[in-house]
Amino acid sequence: MAKQVILKQGRERSVIRKHPWIFTGAIQKVTGSPERGETVDLLTAGGQFLGRGAWSPQSQMSVRMWSFADELIDAEFFSKKILEALSLRKPPVISSATTGVRLIHSESDGLPGVTVDRYGDWLVCQFSTAGAAYWKKTIATTLQTIIPCKGIFERSDLSVLKKEGLGESVGMLWGEEPPEVVEIFEDGRKYGVNIRGGHKTGFYLDQRDNRSLVGTCSKDREVLDCFSYTGGFGVAALTGGARKVTMLDSSGPALAQAELNIGLNGIPAENYSLLEADVFQALRKFRVENQRFDLIILDPPKFVESRNQIDKGARAYKDINMIAMQLLNPGGLLFTFSCSGHMEDLLFQKIVADAALDAEREMKILRWLSQAPDHPLITGFPEGKYLKGLMAIAT
């Protein structure tokens, strides 16, 4: 019997608009008893074929679409999708001198739940959905065939796996074990990346262009890099000629890696300081001590993990932006970000505007900021735009 998912009457509109998610509430019937991750045909209530996707019985997103056409989902399909993704990452979109790149960006490259990042000679993969996990071996084999590399390492250690009924999986999929730190190049900067245990797959590749922008704005400025992690923005500011950079993070190991990254770029010790502390508390202390900065970066972790956390997260974003604005010198620049997918752009702008009112500072937005182009956005999937930011100046 064919393995099919049949939608309720009128619930095909989002699929026709090429949105890849089918929620449980839109489904009328499932036939053929598909296994977790197995490919199913998606049909309208009237029997019209809509495409093929991966079945996920435990998730609220019961189907994630592989294709909106009548094509087989097999090794050849994944080879085609990977080659299409690679073609988008060619110069001038991504510099040939950049060796830390996102090669496959999940839904936005037509492969829901599949993330592949390149760090030097190693590929790092995450398989975060039932369908991605089902095809993991095929995808890994295809990657090693298409992309020259020394090894492929898996970092499927995400909390979202529980919603898919999957366990975590970390380790080698193929080839040589990676060293403890893999060195990458990015727009003239050097970074060491821990692909075994760093955040995400080891580094925040989505902030590449924003780091470069910070670098161009940092000359002769006193810079505060909040939630600095391993020094991505801080190194960009220092190589851009900042007079002094303070890197602030609650993680001692992250700051230790930040210091190694500074060393990779030959920056003298007098040009930076590292501060291990809670960022909210440290900013309040700076305010009491009347410290001021010429450029501040706010790149916090997700404050909003779900829609019911929006109000709480909005208060946190407002609080931290308000204090940062109070620490800026006149003419100082604020680079402020949210990586929370549930935080919409206009709401984030309103939060920053409210923070400026409470801080009693006049702020002007110079630029909207987003993720680097190796993290593309397909028009039918607005949820793919998760990173938003503002570059603002204190007048």
- Digit-coded pLDDT (tens) for 105-123: 999 999 999 999 999 999 9
Give the domain 204-394 fold: Rossmann fold (3.40.50)
Q: What is the CATH number of domain 75-182?
A: 3.30.750.80
User: Is 4-67 a CATH 3.55.40.20 domain?
Assistant: no
Cβ–Cβ under 8 Å, residues 203 and 124: no
pLDDT in tens, 24-57: 999 999 999 999 999 999 999 999 999 999 999 9
Asked if residue 291 has pLDDT above 80, the reply is yes
d(CA 292, CA 394): 12
pLDDT of residue 303: 87
Q: Predicted confidence band at 306 (pLDDT cuts at 50, 70, 90)?
A: confident
pLDDT of residue 1: 63
pLDDT in tens, 346-377: 999 999 999 999 999 999 999 999 999 999 99
For residues 374 and 308, the model is more confident at 374
For residues 274 and 303, the model is more confident at 274
pLDDT in tens, 68-78: 999 999 999 99
pLDDT of residue 75: 98
Tokens 């019985």 label which residue?
57
Residues of the chain with CATH 3.30.750.80: 75-182
Residues of the chain with CATH 3.40.50.150: 204-394
Averaged pLDDT score across all residues of the chain? 96
pLDDT in tens, 154-212: 999 999 999 999 999 999 999 999 999 999 999 999 999 999 998 899 999 999 999 99
Residues labelled catalytic: 339
pLDDT of residue 302: 85
Q: Predicted confidence band at 152 (pLDDT cuts at 50, 70, 90)?
A: very high
Residues of the chain with CATH 2.30.130.10: 4-67
pLDDT in tens, 319-335: 999 999 999 999 999 99
pTM: 0.94
